Amino acid sequence: MRRATSTILLYAVLASGCAATGGSADRERARADRLYQTLTGMGLVRGESVSRVPNFRISGWNDIDDRTLVLSAGVRDRYLVELRAPCQGLSSSFGIGLATHTGSLMASDSILVRGPGGTPERCAIRAIWALDDLPGYDAAQSDGR
């Protein structure tokens, strides 16, 4: 009887592990879908991976979720930045900064986030992609005009 109970317990643990893995994959798939919808709503599409953006200066930013944001540099250049881990203060931040070693934006750098009354949070960058205009996108039409 003891052996049967341990076998059942082992199967229950394995089954819960499989369910957790499936749930994680489902969450990532849902996150990717939200990212795609948000970018297309902004008239953007993810382009090529970028290892370095020379002489980067932030002119604007939009958080997409707690691990993803769009950074603007100048009038036309935009980049999708994915962070290594969730950045808790990103959605409530009044401003962000860059912690770089070279003056260029690189995946080895960090985003500094300061929320209301908080100390700066350092959020490490995992990857950077150039953002391109979505072909055929009409901003006036998407605004309901």
Q: In angstroms, what CA-CA distances link 37 with 22, 32, 114, 116, 134?
A: 22, 9, 27, 29, 12
Decide: helix, strand or coil at residue 63. strand
Look at residue 36 and tell me whether its pLDDT is greater than 50. Answer: yes
Mean pLDDT across the chain: 79
In this structure, which amino acid lies at residue 15? A
What pLDDT digit, counting tens, does each position of 71-126 carry? 998 888 999 999 999 998 888 888 888 888 787 899 999 999 987 667 788 999 99
Confidence category of residue 141, pLDDT binned at 50, 70, 90? low
70/8 Cα distance (integer angstroms)? 48
Look at residue 28 and tell me whether its pLDDT is greater than 90. Answer: no
Within 13 A of 80's CA, how many CA atoms are on the CB side? 22
Please name the residues in contact with 4: beta carbons below 8 A apart, sequence gap of 6 or more: none
Look at residue 15 and tell me whether its pLDDT is greater than 50. Answer: no
Longest Cα–Cα distance in the chain? 72
Residue closest to 105 by CA, chosen among 87, 130, 85:
130
Query: Is 94 within 8 Å of 6 (Cβ atoms)?
Result: no
pLDDT confidence of residue 5: 30
Q: In angstroms, what CA-CA distances link 108 with 2, 38, 52, 53?
A: 53, 26, 10, 12
